[in-house]
Structure 1
């Protein structure tokens, strides 16, 4: 029978390696760190105990010693005390000190790598001196430039720009930043004005920061018929962990930059939250400076220098929404409760300052608004803030938007778009679909009453305004395409089957840009309200590339007699780890047919053509998918049982306390 120290050594060694692998390569959860270091202490203590037990007594004779060694060797041979067993289990070898030291060093190394991932970036790269510039929102005649310069000797910072194709050396001086201090973490936003539409510009700062950008097209111009942009969410530097990588490297940014170099240059990145992970793996503080330091470290990443034919990654304009890990996991405590005020400070200075304008009808004071709206080419955008104004989920009066933002969104949906604008994009940091069955209440699935109000406004907009509504979201570290059919269409059961293209308001939820992905399957269709189109959980880097262009599209591909119509066509391309794996198409009929309802063979009227899959390189479902789905549903059941138990506990507690209050 194995001794207790040997059981402890083998168990703790297995725990160090198993949880170390999960933490460094799979999911950097804070639960694993104490397990790894506690297991290391147990393991080293067990080794010392086993080492003492194996020392021969000094008062034994040489004969007894030789007899003992012979007996021990015999037992060792019988027990299979091999080098391989030592290296795999972590148990010490009685025959080879080298293998014992090697297996011990492996366990110590795993713990040291865990510590390196935790603190190397934090300790060695405080990034207080980081200096950078980037472009945010770009209109036909303006561009928002954000800069950071903590070196006071560089002040004042003079901002200039010129057309990139200009042969002259004449620069237009836009403005001068005379003061940068800690009140904004040494950041400032400058708006470049009087620009020409659809024109490439370069800008230059007196502190040697430069960059390029392209202005948006003039509304109504031929160039306004085309738009390309990318979307994703969630960034964690150096994950999956690589000991040889820079601790601030973001592999997903580099993969995306390389992939975009082969495509039509996107107008911007619509980034849907979790730009920083203040609480993953650990929250080292909740002060304003802790939050600011996380933003500084991301902007210190060498990955922003990764270049393609369109230039370095930092030249891609980024516009941002807020999500929970920029505050606290699953945040729903409003904008007054700590740590929200501290978390909001850098988000305002680093992101909101360069974001698009607030909606014309914000229904709140502009200084208190963190949701945005803009038009670019054939599309208009409404960027929701689903964190700042939300209340506790799963209540009768729960709100994810707050009253002012909800009214602003409903006004946006009911307002006709200018001529040439055929798409309404609504971005949300969390998915609209309730098809994700783990953490559902943190999504719109926890606010179903408000979701229904918004959906009814979307369906009305598609029926009456001649536009198509598309939802873009992130957060889940997986990709899910879902459609929400208008109940008024009265679709048949065959048209509502899972994993099918077809009619409805479509949502494309994608992430992470550079982070872990879930090892279990938690997305599946359970009713006819949320129809699954495609699910792609795997991949540490995912982003969507959306391209809108005019062309000829069949009004209804299901009919035997195609009806080609001039249309505005959206092609959504899903990229996983730098490679396109799935494409989907939606369209809006134009010209004299715009707003005219096509008729299916069944006789039902359909306002917009159904979506269709253009390409699918994702693997077929196998036994592993069924296994991972079973794990996901087990987790869902366990969470439900836990929630029921907690609710029952508080109900019982209230009943027991009621008589005491009566007394």
Structure 2
């Protein structure tokens, strides 16, 4: 069965502006590389940013690399000339490439930062493959990927990890080396792959070049920020080990953005045209630097991130976007604090975090899916997180607590439509939670209809702690929250036909390299029994 690859629409082509359809088709390998050129550089290695694969399907996946012999060049062009460069690729069943099953070429163009995204199909389902690139006489590192099981199959189990929030300035990406050593089928990244902030001083004690001393606003600067992050060896190691499924949150653009504006933080209420330009630059850099398919190609200041990926009939990964179509945050965003104790607006049923079209897409898909487990890839916590252990409510307005109507619709519909095993995986918070999702968070006896696992950051917030004052408050104020931890790391998940298991993998420190990893706690969800239980 061929991969379901989205075509490039006329609207997307027009939205690309200076990029153009030809650059897109060349970069995905749809058009040949006859017009490409060789190039010369003072540095010989064009693969300084590594290789990656993503969005696996039963018959293939998308491959990625970006040519950048000088990744920190101040103009954001990676030391590449303004010419098209042919990039050949091979896919094999063995890591020595004795049995090559696919060969082809894509063209790295300056319009897309000399990135390529060849979409591979025609492969066998549920099988491991190896891949590499060649450009200008140089061979890339070898990557490993894996196809999904066939659509009608019933796999015995699935192993994956999810991660988020990796502020470069806050620490070392050691967690990714540990992740790469796991036996996983795939990785889900839930956003804040980078942070838009300027880099002058940081917790690593490293001095960064002057070109990183400004906040990211334009395409060149976003490209530079990705280059800095992607030059990290542990991150490259993880990307080369497993296919990734990506979405974004706020910091890939700017902190706490909502649809077409920002109402708090450093740059509130920006000029709409200027903010649209900033989003267009951020989305293009996001596409250029990650293994995304043509279906995720941005159209100027718009990008489609919601999509489904099936792991046979065992699990559906349902990726959503809680930024691009939401209403602005309620109550002047907590009157400048980000929180509110008396915000009636957050209960307004007309307000949305998903947008009506995406919400309907989500509900229809949950109803029609034949998968045993519904894995909702979500950016900001869905559970209520109350700061007040007393009778009152004190909640953050940016996550689902600020959009109670949408949360109630999703959870009530999941119950009404008899959705089997809805499990939400979430990033953003720099803390680990295991929680029950209730129909009514004002009623402790309200039915539990789903489960949520919130994963901590890779580095954001620096070293963290096992439990801090906020954790003690949360556990006292939120009886549906069964676990809290504020160390760094990721969540490893094993899913079989009878149960889901989440292992919270944590590091004691990230502000220096070499931290060991351990499993702080494990929680399970039993088939047809919503809610988390200690393993």
| TM-score of the two chains, using structure 2 as the length reference | 0.69
Q: Tell me: CA distance 1:268–1:385, structure 2 relative to 1, closer, same or farther (3 Å).
A: same
Question: How many Å separate the matches in 1 of 2:192 and 2:176?
Answer: 14
Listed as ranges, the matches of 1:207-286 within 5 Å are: 207=135, 208-209=139-140, 210-221=142-153, 224-237=155-168, 239-240=170-171, 249-258=172-181, 260=182, 265-279=183-197, 283-286=214-217
Greater strand proportion: 2
Question: How many Å separate the matches in 2 of 1:374 and 1:220?
Answer: 13
SS of equivalent residue, structure 1 residue 453: helix
Listed as ranges, the matches of 1:137-176 within 5 Å are: 137-150=55-68, 155-164=85-94, 169-176=98-105
Q: Is the 8 A contact 1:434 1:443 kept in 2?
A: no
Question: What are the Cα deviations for residues 458-505 of structure 1, in whole angstroms up to 9, with x where unaligned?
Answer: 2224xx34x1101111101011122123469x99x6x67xxxxx9441
Displacement of 1:267 = 1.4
- Residue 547 of structure 1 is aligned with which of 482, 491, 494? 494
Q: Does 1:457 align with 2:413?
A: yes
Structure 2 partner of 1:379: 315
Q: Does 1:474 align with 2:427?
A: yes
Structure 2 partner of 1:531: 480
Q: Tell me: CA distance 1:344–1:439, structure 2 relative to 1, closer, same or farther (3 Å).
A: farther
SS of equivalent residue, structure 2 residue 416: helix
Question: How many Å separate the matches in 2 of 1:386 and 1:439?
Answer: 18
Q: Tell me: CA distance 1:327–1:155, structure 2 relative to 1, closer, same or farther (3 Å).
A: closer
SS of equivalent residue, structure 1 residue 206: strand
Question: How many Å separate the matches in 2 of 1:384 and 1:235?
Answer: 20
Displacement of 1:450 = 1.4
Displacement of 1:526 = 7.9
Structure 1 partner of 2:381: 431
Greater helix proportion: 1
Q: Does 1:186 align with 2:98?
A: no
Question: How many Å separate the matches in 2 of 1:255 and 1:315?
Answer: 11
Listed as ranges, the matches of 1:17-166 within 5 Å are: 130-150=48-68, 155-164=85-94
Q: Tell me: CA distance 1:169–1:256, structure 2 relative to 1, closer, same or farther (3 Å).
A: closer
Question: How many Å separate the matches in 2 of 1:280 and 1:267?
Answer: 35
Structure 1 partner of 2:35: none
Question: How many Å separate the matches in 2 of 1:229 and 1:284?
Answer: 34
Displacement of 1:370 = 2.1
Question: How many Å separate the matches in 2 of 1:542 and 1:404?
Answer: 34
- Residue 515 of structure 1 is aligned with which of 446, 460, 464? 460
Question: How many Å separate the matches in 2 of 1:457 and 1:173?
Answer: 44
Question: What are the Cα deviations for residues 547-600 of structure 1, in whole angstroms up to 9, with x where unaligned?
Answer: 0124xxxxxxxxxxxxxxxxx2111111111210111111226xxxxxxxxxxx
SS of equivalent residue, structure 1 residue 353: coil
Question: How many Å separate the matches in 1 of 2:165 and 2:258?
Answer: 19
Name the stretch that deviates more: 516-525 or 468-477: 516-525
SS of equivalent residue, structure 1 residue 512: coil
Q: How many residue pairs are counted as aligned between the two chains?
A: 409
Question: How many Å separate the matches in 2 of 1:368 and 1:257?
Answer: 29
Choose 1 or 2 for highest CA Rg: 1
Question: How many Å separate the matches in 2 of 1:609 and 1:471?
Answer: 11
SS of equivalent residue, structure 1 residue 293: helix
Gaps of 5+ in 1: 1-126, 241-248, 307-311, 359-363, 497-501, 551-567, 590-607, 615-663
| TM-score of the two chains, using structure 1 as the length reference | 0.56
Q: Tell me: CA distance 1:236–1:218, structure 2 relative to 1, closer, same or farther (3 Å).
A: same
SS of equivalent residue, structure 2 residue 502: strand
Q: Is the 8 A contact 1:146 1:354 kept in 2?
A: no
Name the stretch that deviates more: 127-136 or 367-376: 127-136
Question: How many Å separate the matches in 2 of 1:235 and 1:196?
Answer: 34
Q: Is the 8 A contact 1:481 1:532 kept in 2?
A: yes
RMSD: 3.3
Displacement of 1:238 = 5.3
Displacement of 1:349 = 2.5
Question: How many Å separate the matches in 2 of 1:199 and 1:353?
Answer: 20
**Looking at both structures, which has the greater relative contact order when contacts are Cα pairs under 8 Å and sequence separation is at least 6?**
2
Q: Does 1:295 align with 2:226?
A: yes
Listed as ranges, the matches of 1:623-642 within 5 Å are: none
Question: How many Å separate the matches in 1 of 2:144 and 2:234?
Answer: 17
SS of equivalent residue, structure 2 residue 484: strand
Structure 1 partner of 2:257: 331
Q: Tell me: CA distance 1:284–1:484, structure 2 relative to 1, closer, same or farther (3 Å).
A: closer
Structure 2 partner of 1:4: none
Structure 1 partner of 2:203: none
- Residue 397 of structure 2 is aligned with which of 435, 441, 456? 441
